[in-house]
Structure 1
């Protein structure tokens, strides 16, 4: 844990770099909810970059494990709470026209007023929820 800020810095830089590269080469916003919902809803041909993006998200923990890097242990989480939380996040991304990655990483960096407001709301309610739960 003494070097967790370094890992957070590296992770943030990688997320920012991935969002920049996707915007530079494809002109697309790296919003996870938009990319994932497009994969689930589309009936036409799915672009390879979307498949690769989601595959990278799923495979990253297994690829990093041999390097000694692991995700936090979430075995203590109640499965029903995770399902309800995931459902509420899905509703929130629909209401907010995007998720924290789309608004917080990509929208704020483009100085989008809507994304700045959405990110402030995400952070405020995250702080409120964490305060109420703990």
Structure 2
């Protein structure tokens, strides 16, 4: 496993927070990814900025992986079918929860939204319970 570098994590957090803040300040929009993708698939001229934001995220990840990363990023060993099912469940949850973790966690908490606080606490509680069940009750390891 790669060694944790807190400076890289701090820099990444600052970039995410700055991009969310700048998008809200200059465009009046929330940088939640589920809403971003949902709005982008309408293909209207007014929503072109969403495609630019999504492209920037993808290119930023590729740039980090192949230019900035001091060592290779660990690859996933999950089965593709499990990842597809998980992605569909996450998509369903984001519609049901009126936003995704990035929208509620980064943008909603920054705006002091009570609804986002409840959502983030629900996300974290569910994640903790899921990890406990998978690792300690079912004794599965990935």
TM-score, normalisation: structure 1: 0.89
Alignment of 1:33-48 (within 5 A): 33-40=34-41, 42-48=42-48
Deviations 1:22-81 (Å, cap 9, x if unpaired)?
A: 0111010000000001112x153243321111111222222121223554311x111111
What residue number does 1:58 align with? Answer: 58
How far did residue 17 of structure 1 move? 0.6
* In 2, Cα distance between equivalents of 1:58 and 1:2: 24
Alignment of 1:92-107 (within 5 A): 92-107=93-108
Structure 1: segments with no counterpart, 5+ residues: none
What residue number does 1:79 align with? Answer: 80
How far did residue 113 of structure 1 move? 0.6
SS of equivalent to 1:29: coil
Structure 2: segments with no counterpart, 5+ residues: 136-142
Residue correspondences, number? 132
SS of equivalent to 2:45: coil
Please tell me whether the aligned partners of residues 61 and 71 of structure 1 are also in contact (alpha carbons under 8 angstroms). Answer: no
What residue number does 1:7 align with? Answer: 8
TM-score, normalisation: structure 2: 0.85
Please tell me whether the aligned partners of residues 33 and 100 of structure 2 are also in contact (alpha carbons under 8 angstroms). Answer: yes
Please tell me whether the aligned partners of residues 30 and 102 of structure 1 are also in contact (alpha carbons under 8 angstroms). Answer: yes
Please tell me whether the aligned partners of residues 39 and 46 of structure 1 are also in contact (alpha carbons under 8 angstroms). Answer: no
